[in-house]
A and B are shown apart, each in its own frame.
Chain A
Amino acid sequence: MTRIALYWLLPLHLLITGCTDEPWNNPYSPQQSDQNIYYDVFSERPRHLDPISSYSSNEYTFLGQIYEPPLQYHFLKRPYQLTTLTATAMPEVTYLNINGEMLEDSAPADQVHRAIYRITIKPGILFQPHPAFARSDSGEYLYHDLDKNDLDNIYSLNDFSKTGTRELTTADYIYQIKRFAHPGIHSPIAGLMSKYILGLNELGATLNSEANASSTKSYIDLREYELAGVQYIDRYTYEIILKEKYPQFIYWLSMSFFAPMPWEADRFYSRPGMKEKNIVLDWYPVGTGPFMLTMNNPNLQMVMERNPNFRGEPYPAEGEDTDKSAGYLKDAGKLMPFIDKAIFSLEKENIPAWNKFLQGYYDTSGIDSDSFDQAVQFNTQGDAELTREMQAKGITLVTAVTTSSYYMGFNMLDDVVGGDSQRSRLLRRAISIAIDYEEHITIFTNGRGMPAQGPIPPGIFGHVEGREGINPYVYEWKINQPVRRSIEDARRLMSEAGYPNGRNQESGRPLILYLDTPAAGPGSKAVLDWYRKQLARLGIQLVIRVTDYNRFQEKMIKGTAQIFMWGWNADYPDPENFLFLLYGPNGKTEHNGENAANYSNPEFDRLFNAMKSMPNGEKRQIIINRMVEILRRDAPWIWGYHPIGYSLHHQWYSNAKPNLMANNTLKYKRIDPNTRKTLRNQWNQPRLWPVITVFIILFLSSIPAWRTYKRRERSSAL
């Protein structure tokens, strides 16, 4: 029987592994084992790969490596700072008053009539090979006039036999900015940019009226339309003209919204029949970056390969003080990218992804709550360290406080918890003390979070560390650390607010509050029960109103929610990107903005307007401190926490310093494929003895049955 088992298993093994010594459970082709490939996962298919539409981190994983806006974040330096990517230098910014006269950089925003960003790009940058650029010998584009019949045997971009390239010019950047106004393209920041870029609204109106007049959705050649806010200076220089001073605009220039788009691609993808075959720009990007998407199957794998036309970019030679000792400067000056290919596999479930990481089939992994105890333990000082199992595999742990905030908000339009009265303010502060986020972080995030003292996370200008940085309404400074105020303090505030022991002093009725949340399912129940218990300590009855996501959004827009949970990831490392979440004119109910709490304080709004256009410095810090103090006093949010990201790296994976602002970090990463192959083989030797044992047991247990069968066959009827 054992031999039978081996006979059965051996051909199966040979069939699976292609007659090599590869591990049986290798999910990749055996030929890939020696190759310089980076392996990672993705859990959700990207919705958009058009850089004008994409606004999601899971899409930036791919887009960031393909498209090149003029600027990028420095890979190593902290605090985060911008540097050039395709630009030769940082943009020259000129401010003009209403008479067209130049103003100082520090000019107040109300005096600035125009802000001009002049950008010069590097010559010689080439687009990736793409059929949109393919030309015949006579110089005519091969695929720009295709009709449906020409696409009979075309099912993907790879089915086009010819490709071409051309040099990147400023016209490509200008073309992309005009796409904000295109009636058939949906950019999430089109509204925001229309507010700032001169003439974008007008261009949108023109294109809309022409599209409405036309009965068919035909290709719009945006080159034929003028946009006052973007000026072509020469082949390598262009200007963007803003209607007002908006210093944060420079950060947008590092995002793929402002990446170049060749008109040829737009023309190519607009041909009849292309959309029916899913050959669209939203699926097949075309850029100048170090990688190009060669396989886009978001149901299985996304594969990026080195762009053969990429110019090469030197690895940074400067960083933080500790970067050298951490090994992040070993490749200083060497041309990137360091890997040839990146394979991202779809893993919807955490357990298979985690196990495959442990087997060496993914180079890096996050840690979900199911596997946290297997990976991380806390030492006596309370610091996170890897378990012995992880250390034995040579895995390293990298942590970083994210530039995000998870908070609980009060609807300031609500009669009980909202408003500017002292009564509601004290009630909000009491609740802020009662909800013990230190405990929340310990129980629900395995300690992976930092209690927030205000809206601005660490790493962003304006965040203050230490004693000066604590929220005095919720914390006290004791033994060199913030300590949450006692529940007695919160109860005292409740009494002052007119709710002693959680009852309305006037009516005697218990105080009932409502938490609206889209969080459903068994996983969320424990968290919601925890919130209920926290408020019960003040005698408040918290009613959880779980609704589906759409109804929750509707409540938030209509302003009918009372208490809610929300979060924000930084778009860019500027305090404006967090403080605008509480700016009155951004109120969600009245203005459909991002101020979900509908908080409005004239003093805060005035300071916000002054702060947002100031350069970082002492003056700005003073204003920010004043703003944060107003927020802490009014407590429209319970400040919640800033998550700490934990990631695990295998020993063959390097140059992976966490950079929470940059999207284009794949080019920095380095892999040692030989070490990986050796360890994979070592870790994944098949264990056959349990299978053989099972076969033996089955064989032995079948002997009595066989005897019974034989006896029956031999027996007579009488």
Chain B
Amino acid sequence: MINYIIRRIFYALPILIGVNLITFFLFFIVNTPDDIARMQLGQKRVTQEAIDKWKADRGYNKPVLWNANADGMKRLTETIFYSNSVKLFVFDFGQSDSGRDIGHDISQRMWPSLAITVPSLLLGLLAYISFALILAFFRATYIDVWGVILCVIMMSISSMFYIIGGQFLIGKYLHLVPISGYDTGFEAIKFVALPVMVGLVASIGSSTRWYRTIFLEEMNKDYVRTARAKGLSEKLVLYRHVLRNGLIPILTGVVVILPMLFIGSLITESFFAIPGLGSYTIDAINRQDFAIVRSMVYLGSVLYILGLLLTDISYTIADPRIRLD
């Protein structure tokens, strides 16, 4: 397995280089260094001298990819791409265009994101699996029919509706929790309760339907029929056999998103004023802070690759028949 993991890490390198290059090109096609400087310096009384000074201070006065005026390797290294993007491979994110240390900011802001995403994931799994099991148990009854109809309705509604509706109902009308905001420690509970609940409700339709399909598929297999034939109660069949085997695709599906939990949720964090990495990315895009956008895209790619690797590993744990060679 170690060999497999090492091989996968080497496979990831060209992907990460590609992501880095594509992000860089896309950003610099849309924004010139002058645009970035103007964005940072403000809109009033910005002179060309101020723009040139800002670029020189941030290293944006160099050629983008190839420095024809330099000698030797410096033709490659004395460029914006090299000085801004190559350090990413050792997770040195450098400074944002507004002068802040990005690594420090990420280390601070991943915790509020995790405070939302981890409970959402755990409680969500509990709720979705429970509902899916109930629907599977009552398959072909009025409970199943109405449950599926409700799921379809719920998955057809925009997540924005759940956010605004949740804030109105729980925060504004019932006065049960604050409408938005965040705090650290135990105080965070009252702030994360609503976004977690909204996230849970918003995904309940699609997730429950998916899990129900998995469970129904398992329930039609021979080993379930055998279990029933030997006289096991339906409850035991469901929990001891169907749930265990149904969890394999569910868990592998969950493992792939585990690393992405750090990245947070863009819309939820914005509406609930959660200072996580999702809002960090959105702010950077709005401010055209290339250094942060580039870092977050790179970090997202690394985490996604890590998620896929973990998924492969989790297969071997969940299903002993699978071996990674």
Residues of A within 8 A of B (CB): 12, 15-17, 23-27, 29, 45, 47-48, 55-56, 183-184, 186-192, 275-278, 280, 282-283, 297, 299-300, 345-349, 351-353, 355-356, 358-359, 361, 548-550, 553-554, 571, 592, 594, 684-688, 690-691, 705, 708-709, 712-713
Contact = CB atoms under 8 A, between A and B. Distances in A.
A300 B273 contact: yes
B218 to A, nearest CB: 18
Nearest to A13: B176
B32 A27 contact: no
Listed from nearest, the 6 A-B pairs whose CB atoms lie closest are: A299-B275, A27-B178, A352-B180, A550-B35, A191-B47, A16-B190
B67 interface: no
B289 to A, nearest CB: 10
A299 B183 CA distance: 11
A188 B47 CA distance: 8
Contacts of A192: 45
B273 A345 contact: yes
B50 A190 contact: yes
Given A348-B279, A550-B35, A712-B234, 5 more contacts: A183-B53, A192-B45, A352-B179, A686-B174, A687-B174
A189 B46 CA distance: 8
B171 interface: yes
Contact of A550 (B32, B178, B182): B32
A660 to B, nearest CB: 16
B178 A186 contact: no
Contacts of A191: 45, 47, 49-50
Nearest to A23: B175
B127 to A, nearest CB: 13
B31 A550 contact: yes
Interface stretch (B12-20, B77-85, B93-101, B295-303): B93-101
Contacts of A184: 57
Given A24-B176, A705-B143, A713-B235, A276 B104 contact: yes
Interface stretch (B36-44, B205-213, B310-318): B36-44
Contact of B273 (A48, A55, A348, A549): A348
Nearest to B54: A186
Contacts of B49: 191
Nearest to B168: A355
A226 B287 CA distance: 37
A25 B176 contact: yes
A188 B50 contact: yes
B66 interface: no
B178 A346 contact: no
B180 A27 contact: yes
A553 B31 CA distance: 11
B44 A188 contact: yes
B280 interface: yes
Contacts of B271: 348-349, 352
Contacts of B177: 16, 24-25
Contacts of A709: 137-138
Interface in B266-293: 270-273, 275, 279-280, 283, 287-288
Residue among B30, B46, B180, B191 with max Cβ neighbours from chain A (10 Å): B180
B201 to A, nearest CB: 13
A353 B177 CA distance: 15
Given A190-B50, A347-B273, A550-B35, A24 B175 contact: yes
B10 interface: no
B143 to A, nearest CB: 6
A594 B179 contact: no
B172 interface: yes
A45 B292 CA distance: 15
A359 to B, nearest CB: 7
29 contacts: A15-B190, A24-B177, A24-B190, A26-B178, A29-B183, A47-B42, A55-B42, A184-B57, A186-B53, A191-B47, A192-B45, A278-B100, A278-B104, A278-B105, A299-B279, A345-B181, A345-B273, A348-B279, A349-B270, A352-B179, A355-B167, A356-B179, A359-B179, A550-B31, A550-B35, A550-B38, A553-B35, A687-B175, A691-B176
A188 B46 contact: yes
Contacts of B105: 278
Nearest to A297: B275
Nearest to B186: A15
A277 B107 CA distance: 12
Nearest to B267: A349
B42 A188 contact: yes
